[in-house]
Structure 1
């Protein structure tokens, strides 16, 4: 063991190794704790019992710390105060100190979370001591440390609209998130919530009230705040797909409510009422309101705007509706949070101040990695035309800053220009300073999963990690209220499921690590992640890096090499083995998509040529169809293998949709091309 932070994940801010060790003798241990920290003390007792199999005595009193001492024959001697010379307790509410001396192990904190995080850190230290073969198992080396988070809110998004896991897996995930120091859950139920007053919406296999109560109890045990997420305007296909609610569609589209129909807001209010009943302790409710792309299309909305003469716009329509939604949440004693994109998409950043007092804003940008050559404005990505000469492959779209009206160029430049305009600017979302001038509570939102493609099995890991690093550092520099890592399971409610939960742990770990300690170096993070999360085995990281190379170079061989690395790997934890299997499945899926594209391209031309000349004995086609047949067999194997893994933590109907939708389009294309030839597909 070393005297640096290497064994701690996330890395701690102050730590030092000291001479000597705390000895756990056969008589047992006394754990003394304040009432506030009793659940933490219970955790500690269970862990010590499993590691050392010694008697444990729990004592609850008014002491300001958790202290672990030897169980002596004289009980009073066991619980006496000793001078442990701890570091100064950090002022942050989640700050803590851990100290190990010859006589005592002590955790000091202000809050339940602080005690919990202190124990998680001490547990890592004890785990390292147990692993050292040359050191007796019953000795824990002395040390002292102090730690605290850089960001107050470190959230993660639980999206239940697709690839819905079993509740047992959800609770396991919450426990693991707590160990990563995630302190907030943004929970998007959609049709999984058992709404009583709104018929048809609840999915037949959705959660029960008992399921939700168990999940919230686990979150509370893990020191987590829960923010329910209720869509108020767009992304409501899960409601409007039902005939009962079809009259609320904006211009007949199931994606969005009509903001002028009184029934739209009423459905939202009914959802709020029922959600609050099961979430009485939640401070915030997220009301969505993003990507309202059909705003103002129907005749009712256009009529509302015409009633205002030349003064009413789509922006007025949007604000009129979301203000009512936010005010209703505020009347229920909760604070509304809403997404920010409609303000820069509709060029009305200056109107955020019109939101009801107490409303918070959450700014999302999933491709922001800092200094950028494009800016998000009016729903599009704008770059300088100079990139056509400099490097056209370095721009996301063909939208030019120079083509914007001068007033809009000036508005963008005023917040984006950092000395390299128009080639580069600060970041993709430079409007946050303008937000801060109008509203006090602003969160950031990165993305660890679900931002890349509608038919993806695993996110582009390095893109996701760079995005969470940007947001963590930017949030600290800009004094934001925190960052939530979104993790989407569908692009919208009626699209297919994407990127299952179990593929997110590498970028999600980065979000947790950097939100706690933003100064972590990139190489240090990989070392920490491998040492702690991956149980010291470098194979997982090597496989991920090969997959990244395969995606960047579009080479199937890298994916093949990654899954070969992961074949027959053995890990000390069942959950880690499951993660490795999901990575292997991800590598195989990406490999198959590249190989299918090549194989189909080699034979699809027959659909045109066959009408021009006979191709009954074409050796090239014969070879091509043989390759395609082999790929179809591999696809069948991938579906069976992946289904088996997913059935460990998802229900059968969810697994079927998630897995069977992924390679379906390639199978259909193969069948179509087969119909144009006499070569068999077996």
Structure 2
């Protein structure tokens, strides 16, 4: 499959609710995005937006300043990348509703995911968030208002009472809030079209969707990140939306962040297949109905989850996906173009990632993260679980009782020290590379999640060896006898 792209607009999603890159890194990345075929950015700020006034409590420690947001927009414009801001207004409100001062606006008191749509204060809250974001994004043609994964909708006390009334349904409740938020956008910012994720709309009957008035207010973004998405099913869904009165639709694929909440390296082949199948879906769409595609790059599954693939690590996957969407396929000549743009001698598609040298912004992070992800745990496991001197003479039983044959110390201790020193040197290099792109809290989190468990095992082994041998150094010995005979 090869030919002109059916997606005239190709937006790269920047999920900033985890490891938001420094502006200096974005200044290097944006020209590459453009060269690879991107035409815009969907920027999901969450708690990195510089909210002011009564919303200031939403800011994360390293939120961008207003000046930094303006600089991001300037850099985007310089590289001909149109910016669409994203503000969550219904589901995924954890970064808002986790605060005690706003907890009374939860749909279910225990969970900070979902906003209570019955409270007038809820609409006032999201309206204020939207207005502050739009103030820094004047002229934005679209504003994404989220509205995906509205978990526990209808389960709050106010909702249960409301649903007891005749003809009231969860679908009606959902549509009512989407309509209210979209109406606020259009009333205050009439040149800006609201976009929504489509998952809460998919199962609503056609007549209810049509009668709600929502199709005249929002542009749904059909999202599916699977490598085996149902092309025919998506075509039927587009037809349903067309019949309901939605004049324009968007697609959303993924280039990272969609194959596991703690994934460290993106499986490029999975994401390539996902985007290729979206090309098949686009071929079924009525002319001019699909506005474009958003390549999502999730950084966390939600506000409370761990970091998944860091943005620099996902660049080769993004490159492959953008080029496939731009050219209607991924032939060998496009592979060569990607390799040239990324400075990679040989791009690996079917494996986890390429381990060779590269020269794109953040390529040093990719190389070092690859080393840690593929080899740190395995090298530690090799020593702790398969070295017969450790498993046979310094088992958990021995370690708890601080008991070891002195001759075994000479075999285990130098190896453990050497392995620990090698990894510490690499991690020091990785930490320096990460700090050039991310703030300290993101670097600390990634290292604590992905590095510390492995290094901690080695450190614990050495501490236990010290405890077992006491202050006396082990006696010289020609080495352990590891034969079978007693």
Q: Same fold (TM over 0.5)?
A: yes
In 2, Cα distance between the equivalents of 1:230 and 1:463?
Answer: 28
Is the CA contact (8 Å cut-off) linking 1:193 and 1:208 kept in structure 2?
yes
Question: Is 1:513 matched up with 2:323?
Answer: yes
- Look up the match of 1:653: 441
The answer for the alignment partner of 1:335 in structure 2 is 193
1:189-233 CA distance string (max 9 Å, x none): 111111113131122321111111121122222222211100011
Q: Within the alignment, does 1:170 sit opposite 2:26 as a pair?
A: yes
Partner residue, 1:487: 297
* Distance in structure 2 (CA, Å) of the matches to 1:232 and 1:671: 46
Question: In 2, Cα distance between the equivalents of 1:633 and 1:295?
Answer: 52
- Structure 2 counterpart of 1:533, from 333, 336, 341: 341
Decide which of 256, 272, 275 is 1:465's aligned counterpart: 272
Aligned residues: 451
How far off its partner does 1:155 sit?
0.8
The residue that corresponds to 2:243 in the other structure is: 437
Match of 1:523 among 325, 332, 344: 332
Corresponding residue to 1:478 among 278, 285, 310: 285
Kindly tell me: are residues 349 and 170 of structure 1, through their superposed partners in 2, closer, same or farther at Cα, counting changes over 3 Å? farther
Query: Alignment partner of 1:217: what SS?
Result: helix
CA apart distance, 1:369 = 3.8
| 1:266 and 2:72 are equivalent in the alignment | no
User: Pairwise mapping of residues 34-73 of structure 1 onto structure 2 (< 5 A)?
Assistant: none
Alignment correspondent of 2:111: 253
SS in 2 for 1:468: helix
CA separation in 1, counterparts of 2:158 and 2:392? 49
Q: Is the 8 A contact 2:267 2:351 kept in 1?
A: no
Match of 1:275 in 2: 133
Deviation at 1:290, TM superposition (A): 0.9
How many Å separate the matches in 2 of 1:673 and 1:274? 53
Instruction: Evaluate the alpha carbon distance shift between residue 617 and residue 608 of structure 1 in structure 2; reply closer, same or farther with a 3 A threshold.
Output: closer
Which residue pairs with 1:590 in the alignment?
374
Structure with the larger helix share: 2
Deviation string 1:292-315 (CA, Å, 9 cap, x unpaired) is 122222222212212x14x33322
- Distance of 1:604 and 1:167 partners within structure 2: 49
Q: Distance in 1 between matches of 2:456 and 2:236?
A: 44
- Give the Cα–Cα distance (whole angstroms) in 1 for the partners of residues 261 and 299 of structure 2: 10
User: Does the C-alpha gap of structure 1 residues 616 and 464 become closer, same or farther in structure 2, counting only changes over 3 Å?
Assistant: same
Pair member with larger Rg: 1
Paired with 1:441 and 1:505, the residues of 2 have a C-alpha distance of 29
Structure 1 counterpart SS, 2:261 = coil
* TM-aligned CA distance change 1:205 to 1:149, over 3 Å: same
- Give the match for residue 476 of structure 2: none
Q: Deviations over 1:488-547 (max 9, x none)?
A: 1111112222211111222212232233221x34434323322x3144x524x15x6554
Q: 1:642 aligns to what?
A: 430
- For the 8 Å contact 2:394–2:404, the answer to whether it is kept is no
Structure 2-normalised TM-score?
Answer: 0.81
Aligned-residue CA RMSD (Å): 3.5
Q: Which has the higher strand share?
A: 1
Q: 1:229 to 1:604 in 2, by over 3 A?
A: farther
Aligned residue number for residue 258 of structure 2: 451
**From 202, 205, 209, the counterpart of 2:59:** 202
Q: CA offset at residue 471 of structure 1?
A: 1.6
Counterpart-to-counterpart distance in 1, 2:23 and 2:281 = 34
Is contact 1:369-1:427 (8 Å) kept?
no
Matched, 1:287 2:75: no
TM-score, normalised via structure 1 length = 0.59
Q: Quick one: distance in 1 between partners of 2:171 and 2:318?
A: 35
Deviations 1:413-469 (A, max 9, x none): xxxxxxxxxxxx846785333223222211110111111222222211111121122
Hey, what's the Cα distance between the residues in 2 that align with 1:607 and 1:491? 40
In structure 2, what is the Cα distance between the partners aligned to 1:627 and 1:240?
A: 50
Q: Secondary structure at the match of 2:57?
A: coil
Is the 2:234–2:281 contact (alpha carbons within 8 Å) kept by the matching residues of 1?
A: no
